[in-house]
Each structure stands twice: as structure tokens, then as C-alpha cells.
Structure 1
Amino acid sequence: MLSARSLFQEIVDHDDSFQLFCSIAASGESQGGWENARIAALVPGTLRDLAPKITRHGADEDKHGRIFRALLRRRGLPAVPVPPETDYTMLLERRGIGLAHDKLRREEPLSERDVLVYLAHSRVTEQRAADQMTLLLRHFGDHPEIGRAVRVISHDEDNHLAYCHEELLRLARRGHGPAIQRLLRASALAEIAVYRDVSRAVMDHMGRLLRWPAPKRAALSAGIGAVYAYERFSGWHRMIGLRQPGRPDPLGGRPVPAPGPA
């Protein structure tokens, strides 16, 4: 029977699939680290109080990239190039979601609207990351090889999501509520389509590496399509709601260190 646990166990147990998984994850986290560092440097004067939190967010993403690269090193595996069809971050950018890398490479200060775009994009993508890590935590939190990494990253992703909620609510109280809701809706609808496409691309690569039979590949593709249909019909609404986090200032405490020598 197909299950998230059995599928991921197959990926972890096989060097080639584990290598691709960690390479994709490390690349995405490193991109996120760079983006947040640039946003922190360019945040407008009216929102300078956000800069330390954005910097912390970026530092966490960089740490996650190091964790995935360390997992590869422990198996004696080098990182491999990320297939472009699995590059979640860049595919979102091509759909106009988030801040374009060209903008972030300039030395021009961002506008308040740019910061709203960043936070709305982050609220949606951090929801996805937090959900995925919760799933991995449930099944692999005690795994001898990857358990500590899963626990650290899951904790961080929960904090990142809470931070997005807190800051968007603060900005909504300053009169940005309608703009925030429009940006959240556009981000969520684009994200669920990109997530579907990336999921299928990743599973296609894993299927070749693990030599999955055609019926198994077809069942996985159908399952991914069913998730997309649910999210497109109504599931996307949970990605745009805002609620005050249980612990205030979730990015204001001490960061959780990376496990081992990562």
C-alpha cells in the first residue's frame, strides 16, 4: 500500500534518491536564505524593525541548507544539480509570486508593498513547509539518521509560519488588510499549482531512480492530482487565514542550532 511513510522510507534508503532529495532541499533552503538576507538589507526605513526578524529567517534557511548538505556528506554523497522542473522557488517567481531576484540584486530600497508581497508569499510557502515537516516529524522524528535534522527544521518552520502571521496581522492593523488578502489569495492559488507540478516532477525522477513500476507511478500522479483538486476547490483557504501565534515574537528567541557538524 502506498503511504507517505513507505514512499519516503524508500527515498531515504536508496543513495541515489536520497542524494537527489537532499540536493533539491538544500538548494531551495539556500535560495531562501539569500532572498531573506537581501530583503533584510533593502527593507524600507518605515519597516526597519522587521530587518532583524527577516535576517533571522534567512539565517535559519541557510542553516537548513547546511543540514541537508551535512546529511549528504555523512553518506559520502556529493550534491547533484537540481532539475529545473523541481525548482519550486524559481517556478513560483516565474508566476510572479514573491519578489523577483532581479529586484533583490539591486541596491534600491524596497517599498512597503514589496514587504507585503514578501510576507504574503512567505505565509503561503511556510504553511507548505510546516505541513511537510509535521508529516516527516510524525513518521521520522526518531529516525537514527535524519530524526534530529527533521526535529530542528520542523521547529524552525513552525516559527517562520507564526512570524508571518504575526507581522501580517500587525500590518493589517495599519490599514493594509485588503492588499494583504489579495496578495495571499494570488500566492495561494499559484502555489498549489506549482506544488502539484513540482511534486509530479520529483516523483517522476524518484520513480526512475527507484525503478517504480508504471502502475505505481500512475497512482502517485493521480494522488497528486487529487490533492491539487481539493486544494483548488477549497483547501487553499487555510493557506490565507491569519491568526495570532500562541507565542509572541516567534523569531525573537535563541535559534535552534544545527545538529552535529552541519
Structure 2
Amino acid sequence: MLSAKSLFQEILDDDESFRLFCSIAASGETQGGWENARIAALVPASEQQLVPKITRHGADEDKHGRIFNALMKKRGLEPVPVPPETDYTMLLERQGIGVAHAKLKADQPLTVQDIITYLAHSRVTEQRAAEQMVMLRKYFADHPQVGKAVRMISGDEDNHLAYTHEELLRFAAEGQGRFIQRTLRECALAEIRIHRDVSLAVMDRMGRILGWSRARSALLAAGIHAVYAYERFAGWRRMVTLRMPERRNALGGPATPAPEFV
């Protein structure tokens, strides 16, 4: 039976597919850590109260990268180079989504609109991350090998999503509502397209590693296209709505360490 649980279990059980999965995840999280660290260093004077939260966001992303690398190490595996077509974070940046890396590599303070752009980008991508981790937590929260990692990362992604809602609502109350909604919509429509392309690329790689039949690969590809069609029609709207989260000030403290993984 083809299901999300059986698919991930198959990837988890094979060393090569597990290594590719963890390598892609670790690379994306590490890149996110770098981006947040640079943004924290360049926050404009008027928004300095955000620096500790952005710093924690980056520390969480770095921690997730270390966790995925540690999961590989426990199985005696080394990371593999990430195929460019599977590099979700870099593909988003190349599409102009989020704060451009040219700005992050400079030493000039960002503008308030840059910070809003960062938050909108994070709100969209953290929605995707939180949903994916909810799925993994549903099936693998008690798994002896990856259960602790899934629970920890899932909790962090929920915090990140809550934080972006709260901060964007604050900026909206300050008169930035139209810019926020325009930026969220642009990010969401780009994200769903890139998520489709990356999903197809990852499944193609996994299929070659695991020896999937053409019929099975075609079925998975059709499912990915169906999800994209739904998201392009209406599903993207869940990524642009804003509501005050139950979890307030979610990034108001230090990052939670993960000593069992590093």
C-alpha cells in the first residue's frame, strides 16, 4: 500500500535513501541558520527588539542541521552533496523570495520592509515545515531511531510559525498590512511551485536508489502534481492568512539544546 508512512519507512530503512534525505534536510536547515544569523546582525535600529528572536530562530535551524547530521553519523553514514534541483532553500532565494543574499553578505543595515519580507518568507516556509513535521510526528514520534528528532524539530517549527504570525500582525497594526499581504502571496505562489519541483526531483532520486517501478514513480509524480494543482487553486491561502497564535512570544527565550544528538 502506498502511503506517506510506508514511503518514509522505505526511505528510512535504506542507508542510501536515508543519507540523501538527511543530507538535503541538513543542508537546508544550515542555510536557514546562516540566513537568520545574518539578518539578526543587520536588523535596523528601530527593530532591535527582534534580534534575540531572529537569533534564536537561526540557532534552532543550526541545531536541526546538526541533528540530521547526527542521525547519519549514528548509522555510520557521511553526508552526500545536495543535488541542485533538490535544494529548496537556494531555489527560493534564486526566485527572489526572501531577503537577497547580496544584502545579507553586505554590512548595511536592512530596512523595515526587508524585515517584513524575511518574516513573510518565514511564515510561508515554516507553514510547510510545520505541516511536514506534524505528518512525521503522527507516524514516527515513537520511532527508536528518529522519534526524538522528529518531536524536537516539530516543536521548534511550531514555535517558528507562531512567531511569524505574531510579528507580522504587529507590523500590520503599524500600517504595513498591504505590503505584508502582497509579499505573503508572492512567497506562497513561488513556494508551492518550488515545493512541487523539489518534491519531483527528490522522488526521482529516491526511486532510482530504491529501484521503484515506472508505474510507482509515475503514481507518486501524479500525486505531487495533484497536490500542486490544489495548492495553486486554493491551498496557498492557508499560507497567507494571519491569526494571533495561542503560543505567544514563542521565540522569547534561548534555543532548546539537543545534547543527545550532538
Q: Which TM-score applies when normalising by structure 1?
A: 0.99
Q: Matched residues in 2 for 1:167 and 1:204: separation? A: 38
- Matched residue count: 262
Q: What stretches of structure 1 of length at least 5 have no aligned partner?
A: none
- Give the letter aligned to residue 209 of structure 1: I
Aligned to 1:242: 242
Instruction: Show the 5 A alignment for 1:179-194.
Output: 179-194=179-194
**Counterparts of residues 148-227 of structure 1 (less than 5 Å):** 148-227=148-227
In the other structure, the counterpart of 2:106 is 106
- What secondary structure, in the 3-state scheme, does the structure 2 residue paired with 1:79 have? coil
In structure 2, distance between residues paired with 1:164 and 1:197: 25
Q: Secondary structure at the match of 1:91?
A: helix
C-alpha separation between the residues in 2 aligned to 1:155 and 1:167?
A: 19
Counting aligned pairs with the same residue, the percent is: 68
| Pairwise CA distance, 1:94 | 1.4
Contact 1:37 1:55 in 2 (8 A): yes
Paired letter, 2:75: R
Residue 136 (structure 1) aligns with: 136
Contact 2:59–2:255 under 8 Å retained in 1: no
Residue in 2 that maps onto 1:78:
78
Q: Aligned equivalents of 1:136 and 1:123: distance in 2? A: 20
Structure 2: gaps spanning 5 or more residues:
none
Note if contact 1:19-1:80 (Cα within 8 Å) is conserved in structure 2: yes
**Residue 66 of structure 2 contacts residue 261 of structure 2 at CA under 8 Å; is this kept in 1?**
no
Which residue pairs with 1:21 in the alignment?
21
Q: Which runs of 4+ in 1 moved over 6 A?
A: none
**One-letter code of the match for 1:184?**
L
Q: Deviations over 1:206-237 (max 9, x none)?
A: 00000000000000000000000000000000
- 1:67 maps to a residue whose letter is I
Check conservation: 2:159, 2:247, Cα contact below 8 A: no
